[in-house]
A and B are shown apart, each in its own frame.
Chain A
Amino acid sequence: MMVREGSPFRGVGVIALKEAADHLTSARMHLIMGLVLLTAIGAVYGAIGRIKDTTAEDAYLFLKLFTVAREPLPSFAAFLGFLLPLVAIALGFDAINGEYNRRTMSRLLAQPIYRDAVLFGKFLGALLVIAIALLTLWLLMTGLGILFLGLPPTAADVVRSLAYLAATLACAGVWLALAIAFSAVIRSPATSALAALSVWLILTVFWGMIAPLLAGLIAPIDPLDPSTVLAQFEAQQSIARLSPQTLYAEITAILLDPAARSVGPLFMSQLQGSLYGAPLPTMESALIVWPQLSALVAAMILLFTVAYVAFQRQEVRA
Chain B
Amino acid sequence: MSDEFVIEARGLAKQYGPHVAVDGIDLQVRAGEVIGLLGPNGAGKTTTILMLLGLTEATRGSILILGKDPLRRPLEVKRDVGYLPDSVGFYETMTGRENLTYMARLAAIPRGVVGERINSVLASVHLLEVADRPVATYSRGMRQRLGIAELLMRQCRIAILDEPTSGLDPQSTQELLDLIQKLSRGGMTILLSSHMLDVVQTVCHRIALFNKGRIGFFGTIEELAAKIGGGTYVIDVEAEGIDLSALAATVDGVKNVMAVNGHWQCEAVRDVRPQLAQRIVAAGGALRNLDLRRARLDEAYGRYFREVHQ
A112-B88 contact, Cβ under 8 Å, with A106-B83, A316-B55: no
Q: Which of B241-299 contact A (CB under 8 A)?
A: none
Q: Which of A103-119 contact B (CB under 8 A)?
A: 103-114
* A111 in contact with B103 (CB, 8 Å): yes
Q: Which of A15-53 contact B (CB under 8 A)?
A: 15, 18, 22, 25
* A317 in contact with B50 (CB, 8 Å): yes
Least distance between B255 CB and chain A CB atoms (Å): 46
Chain B residues within 8 Å of A105, by CB: 89
Least distance between B107 CB and chain A CB atoms (Å): 6
Q: Is A6 an interface residue (CB 8 A)?
A: yes
* A110 in contact with B89 (CB, 8 Å): no
Q: Is B15 an interface residue (CB 8 A)?
A: no
Least distance between B22 CB and chain A CB atoms (Å): 13
* B102 in contact with A107 (CB, 8 Å): no
A111-B78 contact, Cβ under 8 Å, with A15-B106, A316-B50: yes
Chain A residues within 8 Å of B105, by CB: 11, 14
Chain B residues within 8 Å of A111, by CB: 78, 103, 106-107
Q: Is A147 an interface residue (CB 8 A)?
A: no
* B85 in contact with A14 (CB, 8 Å): no
A317-B106 contact, Cβ under 8 Å, with A10-B75, A109-B55: no
Q: Is B41 an interface residue (CB 8 A)?
A: no
Residue of A with least CB distance to B56? A315
Q: Is B116 an interface residue (CB 8 A)?
A: no
Least distance between B156 CB and chain A CB atoms (Å): 10
Cα distance, A111 to B85, chains bound together (Å)? 13
A107-B46 contact, Cβ under 8 Å, with A2-B72, A5-B74, A315-B56: no
* B82 in contact with A110 (CB, 8 Å): yes
Cα distance, A111 to B154, chains bound together (Å)? 9
Cα distance, A10 to B90, chains bound together (Å)? 21
Chain A residues within 8 Å of B102, by CB: 14, 18
Cα distance, A18 to B102, chains bound together (Å)? 8
* B75 in contact with A103 (CB, 8 Å): no
Q: Is A318 an interface residue (CB 8 A)?
A: yes
B88 interface neighbour in A10, A103, A109, Cβ under 8 Å:
A103
Chain A residues within 8 Å of B85, by CB: 103, 106-107, 318
* B88 in contact with A110 (CB, 8 Å): no
Q: Which of A93-128 contact B (CB under 8 A)?
A: 102-114
Chain A residues within 8 Å of B74, by CB: 4-5, 112, 114
Cα distance, A25 to B94, chains bound together (Å)? 11
Residue of B with least CB distance to A2? B72
A5-B72 contact, Cβ under 8 Å, with A109-B55, A110-B78, A317-B46: yes
**Contacts between the two chains (Cβ within 8 Å), count:** 80
Residue of A with least CB distance to B85? A106
Chain A interface mostly helix, strand, loop or mixed?
Answer: loop
Cα distance, A108 to B46, chains bound together (Å)? 17
Chain A residues within 8 Å of B88, by CB: 103, 107
Least distance between B18 CB and chain A CB atoms (Å): 16
Q: Which of A107, A110, A112, A317 has the most CB of B within 10 A?
A: A110
* B50 in contact with A103 (CB, 8 Å): no
B89 interface neighbour in A4, A11, A103, A315, Cβ under 8 Å:
A103
Q: Which of B89-133 contact A (CB under 8 A)?
A: 89-93, 102-103, 105-108
Cα distance, A111 to B103, chains bound together (Å)? 7
* A104 in contact with B89 (CB, 8 Å): yes
Chain A residues within 8 Å of B55, by CB: 106, 109-110, 316
Cα distance, A102 to B87, chains bound together (Å)? 10
Q: Which of A276-318 contact B (CB under 8 A)?
A: 315-318
Q: Is B79 an interface residue (CB 8 A)?
A: yes
Cα distance, A11 to B102, chains bound together (Å)? 10
* A110 in contact with B83 (CB, 8 Å): yes
Chain B residues within 8 Å of A107, by CB: 83-85, 88-89, 103, 147, 150
Residue of B with least CB distance to A6? B75
Chain A residues within 8 Å of B83, by CB: 106-107, 110
A5 interface neighbour in B53, B75, B108, Cβ under 8 Å:
B75
A–B complex contacts, Cβ < 8 Å, 16 sampled: A14-B102, A18-B102, A22-B93, A25-B93, A102-B92, A103-B89, A106-B50, A106-B83, A106-B85, A110-B81, A111-B103, A112-B108, A113-B75, A114-B74, A114-B75, A317-B50
11 additional A-B residue pairs with CB within 8 Å, beyond A107-B88, A110-B53: A6-B75, A18-B102, A25-B93, A104-B89, A104-B90, A104-B91, A107-B83, A107-B147, A112-B79, A316-B55, A318-B85
Q: Chain A: residues with CB nearer than 8 A to chain B?
A: 2, 4-6, 10-11, 14-15, 18, 22, 25, 102-114, 315-318
By Cβ-Cβ distance, the 4 closest A-B pairs, closest first, are: A103-B89, A110-B83, A104-B89, A111-B106
Q: Chain B: residues with CB nearer than 8 A to chain A?
A: 16, 46, 50, 53, 55-56, 71-76, 78-79, 81-85, 87-93, 102-103, 105-108, 147, 150
